[in-house]
Amino acid sequence: MYEAAQKLCRTTTGDGPLEASAARAVGRIAETLADTRSRDSMTFAVDLVSRLVSEGAMPPRAGDRLLRSVAAKLVKSQHLRDIEPLFREVPDEVPDGIPDPAVELRACLLGELALIGSGAGRRSLKAYTERLRELGHPLARLPGSRLDIEHRFAVRARGLGPIRTAKQLRSRFPEAPWTDGGAVAGRGAVDARDDERANTAARPFTAGGWAREPEARFFTLPSPLSPDDFGIPFIRALSLRCLTGEGSRRGSALACVTTPDDVLNELFSVSYVGGVNGQGQGGAYARLYAWESLYALMGLPTCVPLLEAVRRAAGHRWLRFMAFTAWFHHDTSDLAFAVLDPTRTRVAVLAATDTDVHRDAPGQRREAVHLAPGENCSRRTNA
């Protein structure tokens, strides 16, 4: 397989980069080798993926995905004793500000090892992590082992699939009370637009390739909100895009009280698995994007340590909510959260759907396309 990949690497258009079809084939070979338990297979996979990305044979996003995929497969399939030599020959100076696939691959490997609790105490791995931290690599800010709040990451429990119905939501979480005071307080909320914060909060969904752009909104209140008033009447009064046309489908909106570890796990999962027509980002970056999103929802600066963020998260109030609108299709994946800060004067909302909704050319009507897992198509209907 390695020899075949080398031949493909010599398939160029003149003096240009590797042809796209050949690059994709080499990438698949690299992933297969990474998934094959063998020291030689690991060496060949690392060589191929580094060569593909460094020579610009793939678009940047595709190259990133391949690096992350190969790192995840290596950690899953190879022995740590075979992975560790990749970190023993640390260069005198790791490039700073210049993309280096060899460095990025090792950063992803460290992130994947942290998620399975492997590699702790290995001097070569610790030294490389410190070097990455000095350079400000984003993955290096994450701890080298899983925190307790991350206990559900990539763990599947029988019967705990996506929540699609109000009955499922009520069966797992206590429903927040309905109060008239919540509706009154919601009408007094002021939209506090922050595009950078919104993009960070939505990153797990955008990175995972969810079908529609998420809605991330932030609001301020003129006076503290009573915790009992933080429920669906309050959320319905915020003029959210995801609640437009409420009542157009059969059912009543509801909100249930949840916990920060539930929210963090969902944020990890959407990026780790990827959307119906998207790509998973691997465990290392899914973990990073989940934490960055949680920080954005709480309004925390990145300088706050993760354990301090965990402590502060306990002082926030967290809700899951759903409605029966054109946004919530209840067939693939819908998620919506609301967060009330400890001062009870700031609220963050994040809603996302993986149902493919698009608008065709003039003269055609908008249609929601309901995709089953693994289905990769769009349906269009002329008006």
pLDDT tens profile 344-382: 999 999 999 987 655 333 333 333 333 333 333 333 333
Give Cα separations from 50 to 30, 53, 142, 257 (angstroms): 10, 5, 24, 46
User: Is the pLDDT assigned to residue 227 strictly greater than 50?
Assistant: yes
Which residue(s) pair with 257 in the sheet? 319
Within the chain, how many helices (H) and strands (E) appear? 14, 8
Residues in the chain: 383
Residue 96 has pLDDT above 60, yes or no: no
pTM, entire model: 0.88
**CA 204 to mean position of chain CA atoms:** 3
Q: Determine the Cα–Cα distance for residues 147 and 306; give it in Å rounded to an integer.
A: 9
284 CB-contact burial (10 Å; exposed 0-12 / middle 13-18 / buried 19+): buried
Contact 341, 299 (CB under 8 A): yes
Nearest-angstrom CA–CA distance, 111 and 133:
13
How many whole angstroms separate alpha carbon 336 and alpha carbon 338? Answer: 7
Query: Exposed (0-12), middle (13-18) or buried (19+): which is 243, by Cβ within 10 Å?
Result: buried
Q: Would you tell me the crossing angle of helices 282-298 and 60-77 to the nearest 10 degrees?
A: 110
Query: In whole angstroms, what is the distance from residue 321 CA to residue 338 CA?
Result: 8
Can you give the pLDDT at residue 63?
87
14-18, 154-158, 282-286: range with highest mean pLDDT: 282-286
Residue type, 328: F
CB 356, CB 336: distance < 8 Å? no
Work out the pLDDT band at 121, boundaries 50, 70, 90.
confident
Judge residue 154's burial from the number of C-beta atoms within 10 Å of its C-beta, 0-12 exposed, 13-18 middle, 19 or more buried. Answer: middle
* Crossing angle (nearest 10°) for helices 101-115 and 123-135: 120
**pLDDT classification of 214: cutoffs 50, 70, 90:** very high
Provide the 3-class DSSP secondary structure of residue 345: coil
| 269-326 pLDDT per residue, tens | 999 999 888 888 999 999 999 999 999 999 999 999 999 999 999 999 999 999 988 8
- Given this model, what pLDDT does residue 12 score? 53
Report the chain's terminal Cα–Cα distance, integer Å: 50
319's tokens: 């809700």
Element (H, E) at 340: strand 334-340
CA–CA distance, 236 with 116 (Å, rounded to integer): 41
Token reading at 315: 């002082």
Identify the residue whose tokens are 């090792």.
Answer: 106
What are the structural domains of the chain? 2-146 (1.25.10), 166-369 (no CATH)
Give the pLDDT confidence score for residue 372 in this predicted structure: 36
